[in-house]
Structure 1
Amino acid sequence: MALPIELSDALTGPEVEKRLSHALDERLPFSFVRIGDGEGMALARQGGRHDPLRPSILQAFGTAYDQPRADALGEHLDRAVGHASILGLRAEVLYLSLTADDFKAPKDAFLLRYKRSTEGHEPAEKKHDYQSALRLAHMVFALERLGVSNARPVSSAWVHYDLLASGYLARLVLKAPRIGLISCRRSVARKITTARTGPTLFFPVLEHFGREKTLGVTPEHWWQSMETVSRSLTDVRPGDVFLIGAGIWGKAYCEQVRAQGGIAIDMGSALDIWAGINTRPSVMPLWFEAFPDTPPGEVPRELRLESQLAALA
């Protein structure tokens, strides 16, 4: 099940920037979409009450995620993957090799097969959580089903942090004729709108359901709000640059933007860095090491949006 891909051939940050700039200069449709374990869960199209992925589904979507919605979101993601100009992939696609029958195995047997598949590629002491292992396996299985290979441009799924750290995304904010932002980070929207002379389109979304449910948001309200954003994406023009951080649904939004001639960048949690929020404490600090004076766990001032925009003024 491992994909026929060599990440040694993957595009680097500067190479991704070059392709994005070309799309903007030529007003070409473009989408940069990153696929991780959450997308693996959605690509699996499992909405039943007794599916092994049910705990992950409830955390991500709540009880509003039934089979028709699972099928609809899965189709959105199929199109997003199939039409992506650059596909950001995790390293697991190189070595994770399971079969359809492995998914039918009991929990302990599945974890044993998963561990054997990752031997030599991950630290021997690494613990494998059943739900995350399932999501990652479904991710690779779905990408194989969709025919993903080195015949198309790929990058690391983490290259969005490189685009932010280089200042490229901040430069795009000032250069693009129109900017669209799909995010829950209203502070980022305010700073972009203030910094630009051209129009800014802001489509606010809720945070991930696991966070919103603690604030009293019901599963049905959360799901309908994400669908509302999808229905609202109707006025996209060639040359528009959309910065998108909306979790699994964000990949669907990327394809909607590209299909209308715009440029979609799946920024994900890079938008959190712009807002000064460390939402990936196990990953983000790798990009913070260049700023040793920053207190542990905090986002360096130099990577926050207001500082990057001020440096360009």
Structure 2
Amino acid sequence: MIGRIHAALRRVGLSPRYRGHLDALDLTGAHLRMEGWASHFRPHLTYDGAAVPVQVRQVVRPDLAGLGRGSEGWGFTLTADLPAQAPDIAKLALRLNRGCRVDARTHLALFTPQSEVEACAAAILAGDLQAGAADLVERSLSTRNPILPVRVGHALRAAGQAGAAEAVLRASLALPEVRPLARHALMTLVAAAGRLPEAVTLLDAARAEEGLGPGQAFPAALLYAGIGRFAEARALIREAGDPAVDEAAAQALEFVALLERFPAAEARRMLAELRARFRTASLAEIEADILAALAERRPYFLIRLGDGEGAWLRLSPEDEAEFAGIYRTNRREMLDFWFRDPALADDPRFHAAMDAFDAALLEADCIGAFSDAAIAHEYGAVSRRGVTWVVNTLRKALAMAEADPVRARGVAVRDLTVHYDLVLSGALARILQGRAAVGLITCHRDLAPALERHHGIGRVELIKIPGEQIHADALGADAAAGRHWPDRYEEICAQLGRGDRRGELWLVAAGLLGKIYGAALKRSGAVVIDIGAVADLWMGKGTRTFPDLPPALNPMTSLPMTSLPMTSLRA
């Protein structure tokens, strides 16, 4: 009954829906920088009561998944120049949306500068973790800043120091004022590490002590499902919302059903079967395959399938109907990331393009998507989009093997990071070196001359696309300009439908639609490598968590310094 009432209130706009949090703040002179998240984000910053202009960038936050529709896109970075050279933090106030306002008087701890938080984190790392964590908790009590240890825990986790973060967050459980926050952060940390039973123990304690807060029921239910407590998961979902009228509850039940049918053990079984039916190739073998195809002027296609592609894999009409809710949500999220247009999920023209994507998979000679690490990570995080990606790429590949077992035995399989592996090993540099001509599909105009100069290539033929819109700020105005779908897509398909490209090497960095381009290039005779975000890595654009790239392997280092964008000078 309560779930139905809440759902009805949400439909008419009366249920509370404004959420948000300030995660970090820092001041450098008069320059202010804030990080956080908010639904219905409409920032209004004031200093000493006067409005201050702000610049805002959206940040993808996978950790917010499950809080609401599109919650992974709720993250933000806000910057502003304050009207004082030595600003007083106590005069700051930020309205995140119509329902959330934070200021230094009512949320003093949130307004502790991030530089102080990071200094505390560095001090923890420099000494004994347990003693340092205990000292930090004692200091937070004496300064009446109990949330400081929780923020230090978040900072340590963001820096990749999971062990130190766990020590601080466990110590923070001794602070009653922030115990729910600390416990939730600790639950997220151990779940991400694949320690789901520990995460559920923390969840059980939270439910017994303070219950679940707004937006926590569905993520909690998925933790139960992640360790096989499916009945409890379903009961908790139904307590929070009526699936008959609450779309989020219905989708949560669908995901529980997916986890019950395809638990981690089944995913590992499918991975073992895939390795038996396909060709598990080493990096050296993949490099040799590419070089042989070029030498023999034989077409070849290396394709990668990430969670975006996984969202659009279609297995059968029955499967589409059974998991329609979570598939639709996954697809709308990715369409928003790529094109800022989730409504394309209902566009028949885009569905026709996805038929071409489906056909492109059959052209693959090497597929990067599969690994034990991916199963451990996605099931450990109980990620809706991640688990769906893992399960459906395996199911799709096995269906392909069933349809054509002879061809499957010749198709190489490797994990999703095959593009980074090719770059970091120097294999891609060796493949590119001294070529008379190379084709490139990317949003980065400056990459073509950089490749020519760095690898001694006679000519790079560039097909320019608009970049992923979720990363528009990081990519820059020129890279993000224009509409990839349908404008450039239709133009590029027409262009690639003509010509003989036997013996040509093409690098493709074009997201989901790039798989269609890659298949078209292969059909014209080309050797195609789906390099994905390697193009952003080369350009120094921070669109992913990238591996370190030695300058010798970065083509941008070969351009004159005056022509380099500042971001490309990063290692």
Q: TM-score, normalised by structure 2?
A: 0.42
Residue 123 of structure 1: how far off its partner (Å): 8.7
The reply to whether residue 301 of structure 1 matches residue 564 of structure 2 is: no
Residue 84 of structure 1: how far off its partner (Å): 1.0
Q: Which amino acid aligns with 1:232?
A: Q
User: C-alpha distance in 2, partners of 1:243/1:55?
Assistant: 26
Q: Which residue of 2 aligns with 1:205?
A: 465
- 1:166/1:191 Cα in 2 relative to 1: closer, same or farther (>3 Å)? same
Q: Which residue of 2 aligns with 1:107?
A: none
The reply to whether residue 139 of structure 1 matches residue 393 of structure 2 is: yes
Q: Which residue of 2 aligns with 1:173?
A: 432
Q: Which residue of 1 aligns with 2:314?
A: 44
Q: Identify, as 1 or 2, the structure richer in strand.
A: 2
Residue 70 of structure 1: how far off its partner (Å): 3.8
Q: 2:367 aligns with which of 87, 104, 114?
A: 87
Q: Which residue of 2 aligns with 1:98?
A: none
- 1:5/1:218 Cα in 2 relative to 1: closer, same or farther (>3 Å)? same
Farther off after superposition, 264-273 or 194-203: 194-203
SS in 1 for 2:401: coil
User: C-alpha distance in 1, partners of 2:387/2:421?
Assistant: 26
Residue 122 of structure 1: how far off its partner (Å): 4.5
Does the 8 Å CA contact 2:505/2:528 hold for their aligned counterparts?
yes
User: C-alpha distance in 2, partners of 1:123/1:262?
Assistant: 34
Q: Which residue of 2 aligns with 1:78?
A: 358
Residue 69 of structure 1: how far off its partner (Å): 3.1
In structure 2, the gaps of 5 or more residues are 1-261, 263-269, 561-571
- 1:59/1:275 Cα in 2 relative to 1: closer, same or farther (>3 Å)? closer
The reply to whether residue 56 of structure 1 matches residue 306 of structure 2 is: no
SS in 1 for 2:463: strand
Residue 129 of structure 1: how far off its partner (Å): 3.1
User: C-alpha distance in 1, partners of 2:394/2:289?
Assistant: 26
CA RMSD of aligned residues (A): 3.6
Does the 8 Å CA contact 1:36/1:90 hold for their aligned counterparts?
no
Aligned pairs (5 A) from 1:1-313: 2-3=270-271, 4-6=273-275, 10-44=280-314, 51-53=328-330, 54-61=332-339, 62=341, 63-91=343-371, 121-122=376-377, 126-147=380-401, 151=409, 152-194=411-453, 196=456, 198-212=458-472, 222-233=485-496, 234-281=498-545, 284-285=546-547, 288=548, 299-307=549-557
Residue 221 of structure 1: how far off its partner (Å): 6.0
- 1:267/1:278 Cα in 2 relative to 1: closer, same or farther (>3 Å)? same
Q: Which amino acid aligns with 1:175?
A: G
Residue 219 of structure 1: how far off its partner (Å): 9.6
SS in 2 for 1:27: coil
User: C-alpha distance in 2, partners of 1:49/1:219?
Assistant: 31
User: C-alpha distance in 1, partners of 2:399/2:347?
Assistant: 20
Percent identical residues: 25
Residue 181 of structure 1: how far off its partner (Å): 0.3
User: C-alpha distance in 1, partners of 2:314/2:482?
Assistant: 20
Residue 265 of structure 1: how far off its partner (Å): 0.5
Give 1 or 2 for the bigger CA radius of gyration: 2
User: C-alpha distance in 2, partners of 1:247/1:57?
Assistant: 11
Does the 8 Å CA contact 1:178/1:239 hold for their aligned counterparts?
no
- 1:308/1:34 Cα in 2 relative to 1: closer, same or farther (>3 Å)? farther
SS in 2 for 1:154: strand
Q: TM-score, normalised by structure 1?
A: 0.72
User: C-alpha distance in 2, partners of 1:88/1:137?
Assistant: 14
Q: Which amino acid aligns with 2:289?
A: R
Equivalenced residue count is: 269
Residue 143 of structure 1: how far off its partner (Å): 3.0
- 1:176/1:136 Cα in 2 relative to 1: closer, same or farther (>3 Å)? same
Higher relative contact order (CA 8 A, sep 6+): 1
In structure 1, the gaps of 5 or more residues are 96-117, 289-298
